[in-house]
Structure 1
Amino acid sequence: MKDWPYPRWVAHRGAGKLAPENTMAAFRVGAGYGYRMFECDAKLSADGVPFLMHDATLDRTTNGTGVGGETPWAELSQLDAGGWHSRAYAGEPLPTLENLARFCIANGYFLNIEIKPTPGVEAETGRVVADHAARLWQGQAVPPLLTSFRPESLQAAMQAQPQLPRGLLLDTLWNGWFDIARQLQCVAIVCNHALWDAATVAQAKGAGMRCLSYTPNDAWAVERLIALGTDAVITDRVDLFSPS
């Protein structure tokens, strides 16, 4: 991408910790703080519906139990995904990727979709999420940014919808990460913010890739990233950092 269309400030899972993550309520809260770009986690239900949830299991963020990817959407859609956070959000449902897409498109918001596959369906998740993203954002000026820790998911997304921009997520600088990112034609590297230093930023930018960070939540950390010349921060602290 010669022109980078995305803003610097990205709200992690909608609104960080101020609302139940990966719910429509969270994205509305993040928008209320002035955020114009959001990060979400997308995985597949047992019957292939892309929905928003971070964990492989339902237990932490819903009133359900078991593996989300082994549960059909008809059951997932009935779960309470807000009560775990606070009583104010009790009854908040799990959204589909399509729910969030319609919200973002209607309001001119940008989206970073982390492909978060249930173990064992990495490639299928990458393909299906990419196909849905291409359909939902068809005709829109700025597509969503697809990212993943799993190269298999990004590979499948690239094969399915090569025109969609991709970014490799890193929690460590494992051997071969740079070569894999180039093979996947990534437009961005999305690192744990502590991994960035001047040399790594120069390496990524020298290959034409943007430098994004998760999840810096303190002013000193964000100041360091800006000084290094990184391009975006994905933060929980939507209440601390004002995008304006």
Structure 2
Amino acid sequence: MQAWPYPRWIAHRGAGHLAPENTLAAFRLGAHHGYRMFECDAKLSADGVPFLMHDATLERTTNGTGVGGERPWSELSRLDAGSWHSRAYAGEPLPTLESLARYCIANGLFFNIEIKPTPGVEARTGTVVAEHAARWWKGRVPPLFTSFKVESLQAAAAAQPEIPRGLLVDNFTDGWLQRAQSLKCAALVCNHALWDSATVAAVHAVGMRCLSYTVNDEWAAERLIALGTDGIITDAVDRFAP
């Protein structure tokens, strides 16, 4: 097993559904509930600024339209990323990855950056996010990079091989464990329903950790802890005390 400095409980997109996802307000709320590690989604603006957003398009979580990665940061920075959630967060801006990095570093918090590229820039996103993260976290416990996109993880590994990586999987297709090994992953991150004792044992046997998303029910969390998994990503930051 590689060294694993990260806590078990990880707040999904900052604070789950309690605040607008992937905003600084969400991270602050998750920290208020006692969380010390956070998951977020990072992609690139058209001019190469890493920023936080899950979807490829802007409509669901901002007052913008179109593909986020096709807009320059000067335009994205003026969008309202809070009103869709509730009036209390009206006007909350999209954050850059750097602003969240500085918040986590200043407060001694851990970070899981899901590299969530706009289609067509998978490798470039992995490279840019890795290079920025290496600079921001120099001399500190680095973030954990995860992605569903093998190209993004390959690029991140080529740029900054010392920053740990995790392969995200939604189902076990042929060769899933070999893919994670070929990427020299420190973790496999999968839909929590996929884990059983044999799969946990197989992943641990090759020196990787077992993480799960998105765990919002007590019975599911208890099952995963009993199986010996290593990390739980949850929206239920107000119900699970880390």
TM class by shorter-chain length?
over 0.9
How far, CA to CA, are the matches of 2:45 and 2:190 in structure 1? Answer: 27
How far, CA to CA, are the matches of 2:172 and 2:69 in structure 1? Answer: 28
Cα deviation code 1:83-103 (max 9, x no counterpart): 000000000000000000000
Amino acid at match of 2:65: T
Is it true that 1:191 corresponds to 2:190 in the alignment?
yes
The RMSD of aligned alpha carbons is 0.6
Amino acid at match of 1:39: E
1:186 counterpart SS class: coil
1:2 counterpart SS class: coil
CA contact (8 A) 2:12 2:38 kept: yes
How far, CA to CA, are the matches of 2:56 and 2:167 in structure 1? Answer: 20
Cα deviation code 1:177-228 (max 9, x no counterpart): 1111001000000000001111110110000000000001000000000010
Counterpart for residue 226 of structure 2: 227
Counterpart for residue 9 of structure 2: 9
Counterpart for residue 20 of structure 1: 20
1:80 counterpart SS class: coil
How far, CA to CA, are the matches of 1:174 and 1:136 in structure 2? Answer: 35
Counterpart for residue 134 of structure 2: 134
- The count of residues paired between Structure 1 and Structure 2 equals 242
**TM value normalised by structure 1:** 0.98
Is it true that 1:177 corresponds to 2:173 in the alignment?
no
Counterpart for residue 90 of structure 1: 90
How far, CA to CA, are the matches of 2:91 and 2:185 in structure 1? Answer: 38
Amino acid at match of 1:192: N
1:105 counterpart SS class: helix
Counterpart for residue 112 of structure 2: 112
Q: Which runs of 5+ in 2 are unaligned?
A: none
Amino acid at match of 2:152: S
Counterpart for residue 71 of structure 1: 71
How far, CA to CA, are the matches of 2:153 and 2:3 in structure 1? Answer: 21
Q: What are the residue-to-residue correspondences of 1:21-40 with 2, within 5 Å?
A: 21-40=21-40
Amino acid at match of 2:199: T
Q: What are the residue-to-residue correspondences of 1:44-59 with 2, within 5 Å?
A: 44-59=44-59
How far, CA to CA, are the matches of 2:174 and 2:77 in structure 1? Answer: 40
Amino acid at match of 1:226: I
